[in-house]
Structure formats: structure tokens, C-alpha cells
Amino acid sequence: MLAFKSVWQYYVPSSDVLRLLDVFRRMVNESLRIGIANDASSLRKLSLLSYNQLAQYDSPSYYKLCAISRAAGILAARKKSIRRGFPTKTPYAVRPMLISCYGFKIGNGLLEMPLSRDRRFRIPLTKYVLEVASQPGVKVRSFTLTQNRLSLCIARDTPLLQCNSTVGVDRNLRNLTVGNDQQTSRYDLSKCVRIANTTVRIVASFTRDDNRIKMKIASKHGRRRTSRTGHILHTATKTIVAVAVQRRTAIVLENIEGIRSLYRKGNGQGRKYRGRMNGWSFGEAQRQIEYKARWVGLPLVRLSRRETRGSSVTCPRCGERLQSDKRLTRKLWCSNCRVVMDRDMVAVVNLARRGRVRFARSRPPIIEAQGGAVEAMKGNPTPTVIPGVDAPKLTQPTKS
């Protein structure tokens, strides 16, 4: 399985590089214009139409091909949006950039790229970038330059790990819960909520009637918030993937499509509650887990919407709908089994089990080792009665 990742660093551009970035941007825009005028979005058709038109631009021909390819990518994405009925604007590249998969060389701790026919530009790579790019089996596919950043796209072909069990991952406002019916662990993310609240307070404390400055402050603190919460999430997802690899468990993700519509204006929720519930990134944790799992070759199961439904309110023992109680916070009560369960634990156990059903269907020989619980699950996609599952375990959260 081919896995991709990117690694980036800052660099100092020369005036020639800046000129080249702008030429590239204009070539992309020219190809976009040609593509829209001729209704062409495939790389082949666009190359035939616009390669000759790019002759007037002063740039190595490598970059012309890459500009066309970039434009084709943008046009294909736009076409997809139109097909799905999303509103689209006429695409136009505003920021100077350069993306190329040809002509560059990495050696002696430098990235060397052509500026024109006989001149080359060298960027010293940082220790970290060199270390990541020189891992065994890693190939550098392309590089991207912006005004101050260099980003390398790296790829690795990893064999799929053999897994004999699954773990569910459930992202909540204040934690990230991972586990199955044997073991669950919780990663505390309440610091992200605190960071978000601080950001809101700081931005709100600016009361002067000056929109320009307010925008500046909001974007500065917004960036700070994104990077701080991103770091917390990265640490958690890194551990999750490492533990899953160690225990040989495939990761099961729920389908979070349409989650935004839960907290919309007119749903009868307060403004603050909606702000809080929409203020955390539902998808970011999944995105991180997904690419990190791919990178190490860990199998991943994405449940469909139908398979995800009711995963946090269904009793993992008997399939009954769980009751919530005002006296219990984030705990649920099964009137059939007469036990109180933790909401997050219920969700991950259900997700892990539903994922295992799919996993078992796709590759039967590996799952054999699981025994009892899986036997009951075969050909039984909606969990109803599952014997041999220890209920008390669910009520005792195991913290890691």
C-alpha cells in the first residue's frame, strides 16, 4: 500500500526564486483560463490545449508541465463540486507558488532545483527534513515552494500489517476514546476546549470599532489556537497508532458526515453551546489517524453512515437503546441489563465490533483467533445478543 506524507521547513528565497514562483502562478492561471474556455479538465486534454500557449513564459519546461497538472487538479476538483451541487467560484491562483515533481535533486543535505536552463537554486534542508526523507524506503515525490516554505511530498510503500482484532475511535469534545471490549483508553483533550475559550475571550476583549485591526488580532490568535490544538491532537493520535500497531489491532473510524447539521441555528440550542460544539475539529483527529495508520501499514476500517448509526446509544451487550439520566453525566443506563455504562466506552465498543464485522467479511482467516464474540457476530451485522462479553468491564474505565 502506497502511503503519502509531507514534511516542510522554512527557507529564504532569492529574487529569482520569487520571480519563478510568480511565473508559475501565472502559468497556472493561464491553463485554468484555457481549461474553462474549452471545458477541459483532464490532464491529457489540457496539456494538448495549453502547452503551446505557455511558450511565452520564461521558465524551464518541467514547470510548464507541472503548472498544467496543477491547473488540471483544480479544474477536476471544481468539476466534482459542480456535480455535487456545491457553489463554485471561477478558480484563480492568488499566492505565488511552485510545485514540481521533475528536475529536482536531493544530496549533500541540499535540495537542488533548476531556475532556468543553466542556473540552479540550492536550499539547505533542516536536520529533521533530511532525517524523514532519508528513512528506508522513503522516496521524495515532489516539492512545493511558497514564499517562505519548502514542502516535500514523500511516499513509502508499506506492506499491510496482519491484525487480529479491531479498536474503535470516538472523538468527543473533551476526549478521544480508543478501545474495544477488552480494553479502552481515553486521551484527555479538555485542554483544547480551554484554549478555544481563551482565544474567544481574547478576541472579544478587543472592543474598539476597527474591523481591520480586529481581523488581524482574530487571525493571529486563530492561528495560535490551531497550532496549539493541532499539537495536542498530534501527540494523542501518534500514541493511538503506535499502540494499535503494537497490539496488532485495526482502527475503526465512524462516519462523521453531516455532523455540522446537528448544531445549526434553529435546532433549539443556545448560541454558546452551538459555538462550542462547532468550534472543535471533528475531522482533524480522523485525518491524522488515517494518514499515520497508512504510513505504517495499519489496516483501517471506515464505517458507513448506516453502520455508524446509534453507536453511542446502543447497549453493546443486548442491543437495547440506552437511556440517559439527568443525574448521570455522560453515563447511560440499560434498562434491560440493569447496568450503567460510560457513553464514550459504549461508543468505542460498538464501533470496534461493527468494524470487526466488516473486517471479518473482507478477510476471514485472520479473524479466526478472536473466538467467541466473533462467532456470534458472523452474518449478524446489527449487534443484538452477544454472549461471552463481559459487561462489568465496560463500566470500569481503564485509563492509560
Q: Where along the sequence are the contacts to Zn ion (CB under 5 A)?
A: 315, 317-318, 320, 334, 336-337
Minimum distance between the CB of residue 387 and Zn ion, rounded to whole angstroms? 13
Helices (H), ranges, 51-152? 61-84, 127-133
Cβ nearer to Zn ion, comparing 244 with 315 = 315
Residue closer to Zn ion by CB (options 49, 376) is 376
Nearest residue (CB) to Zn ion, 112 versus 320: 320
Taking the complex as a whole, how short is the minimal distance between the CB of residue 321 and Zn ion, in angstroms?
9
User: SS3 for 315?
Assistant: coil
Nearer to Zn ion, 157 or 325 (CB): 325
Residues constituting the chain: 400
Q: Are 20 and 62 in contact (CB under 8 A)?
A: no
Q: How far apart are CA 325 and CA 321, in angstroms?
A: 13
Say how far apart CA 332 and CA 310 lie, in whole Å: 13
CB of 386 to Zn ion, least distance (A): 10
Residue with cell 479498536: 167
Place of cell 462467532: 375
Expressed in percent and rounded to 5, the helix, strand and coil fractions of the chain are 50, 20, 35
- Closer by beta carbon to Zn ion, 22 or else 320: 320
Q: HSE on the CB side for 177, CA within 13 Å?
A: 25
What angle do helix axes 282-296 and 211-247 make, rounded to 10 degrees? 40
Could you tell me the three cell numbers for 103?
528536475
Q: Give the shortest CB-204-to-Zn ion separation in angstroms.
A: 45
Give the nearest distance from C-beta 332 to Zn ion in angstroms. 10
CB of 336 or CB of 398, closer to Zn ion: 336
Least distance in Å: CB of 352 to Zn ion? 17
Q: Which residue has the closest beta carbon to Zn ion? A: 315
CA distance 275 to 397: 29
